[in-house]
Structure 1
Amino acid sequence: MKRLVLLGGGHSHVHVLDALAQRPLASVETLLVSPHPHQVYSGMLPGWLAGHYRLRDCLIHVDALARRAGVAHRRATAIGFDPAAQRVFCSDGAAFDYDVLSIDTGAVLDLGALPGASQHALPVRPIERFIQGCNSLVEHVRARPRTIITFVGGGAAGVELILALRRRLRRHVREGRAVLQLISSSASLLPGHPAGVGRRLEAQLAACGILYYPDRSVAAFLPDGVILHTGEEIESNFNLVATGGAAPPWPKRSGLATDAGGFISVNGFLQSTSHANVFAAGDVASMVDHPRPKSGVYAVRAGPPLADNLLRALAGRPLKRHAPQQRALYLIGTGGHHAIASWGPFSWQGRWVWRWKDRIDRAFIARFSRDTPTEANLLHRSESESP
């Protein structure tokens, strides 16, 4: 019997599990290796933080999807694999052989090289830890007369999250107890998007009283401040980091072909350029023929073609090429029931954009929520404390 191993429960693999539920494979054993029974949908994380959603509204129950597909779920993290032996190694000491391997573990935020980061900064990944940290932060602010909160990262995640946090604090904390500031290494917000998007978001920050430090990077985190690369030291009591993700180290270390950043190099079939029985999608992968920015938009769109090609590979059928769209639609929340849309050179904003985003996000969750798990989950405490 052949074995398909799915490493990670990311957006693309959610589609694979759904496809396996609809088209069960005879004579194929499928194993999912992922540390959590659910996936927090990153597109709705700012909405949870702002108070628009309960945490359970943002969860895709990977366990339930796996059960429906007849897929065994090992709650562990991949730490490496041997492509010659076709064997995966997990954080709990287990090892599994595979005939076809698919990787959708996402990127990581490695702050280890930044002085003080491990003690004085909370990264947005892993999301589960970030959620618990945000709940603790609100209690911290409530208990003190004044707290300065710093977000590092001028991309969509950093801007959305700081605006969402500002809304949550306004609803739960007395006015004036929190000062928010954003540090961005780029000269403008959301580089790579139309200039109008950055200007709209800068106006939102200003209207919300959020301090903005453009064109600066962090050199070190201190117990009560942040040192910038310019030598400036700014006061800060709580630091959150939402910079771009890095590649996990183990794919390159295991011998897979990677790009300069360590992301798995894949062709138009979402197939490793060095190992034909290994596939990858999402932020952990880099398409050689069609490079695209790291984004949940592209990870979601890669799900159906990845599922199709995995089924084809297991059946010995020809693979189909996937060409991601040139332009992706980005819908960026601004804290309240308001959002900004970015598509190619165009941008729009308004309450109608937020309603559009809300419908898309809820529909995505609903598609994969036909089963409701009864077991307690790792985020139960965070859910009960959600805004």
Structure 2
Amino acid sequence: MPFDVLSCNAGSQVPFNTLSLPEGGDIFPVKPIEGLARARERIIARGKSRSLHVAIVGGGPSAMEIAGNVHQLAHEKNLLPPEITIVAGHAILPHAPERVRNLTARYLERRGISILTDTRVRKVRKESLLLDSGESLPADIIFLAIGVKPSPIFSKSGLPVGPDGGLRVNKYLQSIAEPNIFGGGDCIYFEPYPLDKVGVYAVRQNPVLLHNLMAAFAGTPFQEFHPGGKYLLIYNLGDGYGVFNKWSLTFGGRLSFRIKDYIDRRFMHTFQADEH
């Protein structure tokens, strides 16, 4: 398909090639998000008749949020209490401040959620995980929260990519090799310096990307993308509880969740069609 200007917004995906996955089974990556909706349905369907073993592979924010919200789901739907285990690898939230890690672990463990650190998964089976210790961990439902990588389409395209396989772009969010190709979000590698794979950068990039796409058509000057300063992190750990962190301010509780809920709803409202 020919194009004059191309905007690449392909997002990211869980790198399945790092694990050997079986055929079948209730195994769900954290992306795409549609998979989590299917996981919810399966937990509700299977959790009415017996207590499920739910395993989350990974130690990042997604793993923490899934664990807490599976606990909430079981409570809301009157399911038999599941046994939830996080297989975190070396540690949970390795890039977060120590107080964030401690608040998160304390809350989840109070909910009966087990956190295995210094433990890795050697193999994913249909209803269990083989750990590096040789132990087999029962797992009726398995979530894969092992990080994300850009879509492989860029590595296959012949365009310059970053170490993670993302489309390598300059300060204008423009391919360093093809001036009519632009990109934003998780699928790019920002050449000035690497960015975390968090939604806040995609949101900040959107107006710059739109401006530069229009400028490419019009032949007018481009805008530079400036990532901005420290971004706000709030983890939704279920049951109306959150952990808030920005700069040196860290706290946990219901206020954290209410702040996150307000921000998320306000953001989503900007995409709602006007009914009047």
Ranges in structure 2 where 5+ consecutive residues have no aligned partner? none
1:213 aligns with 2:116: yes
Contact 1:290/1:323 (CA < 8 Å) preserved in 2?
Answer: no
Question: Structure 1's 211 and 315: CA in aligned 2 closer, same or farther, altered over 3 A?
Answer: same
Q: Residue in 2 aligned with 1:15? A: none
C-alpha distance after superposition, 1:355-384 (max 9, x if no partner): 111111111111111257xxxxxxxxxxxx
For 1:200 and 1:353, locate their aligned partners in 2 and report how far apart those are by CA, in whole Å. 12
1:150 aligns with 2:55: yes
Q: Residue in 1 aligned with 2:199? A: 296
**Among candidates 217, 223, 233, match of residue 330 of structure 1:** 233
Contact 1:194/1:344 (CA < 8 Å) preserved in 2?
Answer: no
For 1:166 and 1:194, locate their aligned partners in 2 and report how far apart those are by CA, in whole Å. 25
Deviation at 1:117, TM superposition (A): 4.6
Contact 1:290/1:324 (CA < 8 Å) preserved in 2?
Answer: no
Contact 1:116/1:221 (CA < 8 Å) preserved in 2?
Answer: yes
Question: Structure 1's 296 and 117: CA in aligned 2 closer, same or farther, altered over 3 A?
Answer: farther
For 1:247 and 1:368, locate their aligned partners in 2 and report how far apart those are by CA, in whole Å. 25
Secondary structure, aligned partner of 1:347 = strand
Deviation at 1:112, TM superposition (A): 4.2
For 1:123 and 1:355, locate their aligned partners in 2 and report how far apart those are by CA, in whole Å. 27
**Among candidates 30, 41, 52, match of residue 124 of structure 1:** 30
Contact 1:226/1:233 (CA < 8 Å) preserved in 2?
Answer: yes
For 2:14 and 2:61, locate their aligned partners in 1 and report how far apart those are by CA, in whole Å. 16
Q: Residue in 1 aligned with 2:244? A: 341
Question: Structure 1's 164 and 246: CA in aligned 2 closer, same or farther, altered over 3 A?
Answer: same
User: AA paired with 1:207?
Assistant: R
C-alpha distance after superposition, 1:39-58 (max 9, x if no partner): xxxxxxxxxxxxxxxxxxxx
Deviation at 1:108, TM superposition (A): 1.1
User: AA paired with 1:146?
Assistant: S
Relative to the length of structure 2, the TM-score reads: 0.93
For 2:28 and 2:169, locate their aligned partners in 1 and report how far apart those are by CA, in whole Å. 31
**Among candidates 4, 7, 19, match of residue 102 of structure 1:** 7
Residue correspondence of structure 1 range 55-74 to structure 2 within 5 A: none
C-alpha distance after superposition, 1:324-352 (max 9, x if no partner): 02311111112022211122343122222
User: AA paired with 1:265?
Assistant: R
Residue correspondence of structure 1 range 226-305 to structure 2 within 5 A: 226-305=129-208
Q: Residue in 2 aligned with 1:161? A: 66
User: AA paired with 2:78?
Assistant: V
Deviation at 1:149, TM superposition (A): 0.6
Q: Residue in 2 aligned with 1:182? A: 86
RMSD between aligned residues:
1.7
User: AA paired with 2:189?
Assistant: S
Contact 1:194/1:345 (CA < 8 Å) preserved in 2?
Answer: no
User: AA paired with 1:223?
Assistant: K
1:352 aligns with 2:258: no
Ranges in structure 1 where 5+ consecutive residues have no aligned partner? 1-95, 373-387
Aligned-residue identity in percent: 27
User: AA paired with 1:283?
Assistant: D
Task: Give the paired residue count.
Answer: 274
Contact 1:340/1:349 (CA < 8 Å) preserved in 2?
Answer: yes
Secondary structure, aligned partner of 2:230 = coil
User: AA paired with 1:317?
Assistant: T
Question: Structure 1's 240 and 327: CA in aligned 2 closer, same or farther, altered over 3 A?
Answer: same
User: AA paired with 2:218?
Assistant: A
For 1:282 and 1:352, locate their aligned partners in 2 and report how far apart those are by CA, in whole Å. 29
Relative to the length of structure 1, the TM-score reads: 0.68
Q: Give the ranges of 4+ consecutive aligned residues of structure 1 lying more than 6 Å apart after TM superposition.
A: none
Question: Structure 1's 212 and 131: CA in aligned 2 closer, same or farther, altered over 3 A?
Answer: same
Secondary structure, aligned partner of 1:97 = coil
1:138 aligns with 2:44: yes
Contact 2:22/2:126 (CA < 8 Å) preserved in 1?
Answer: no
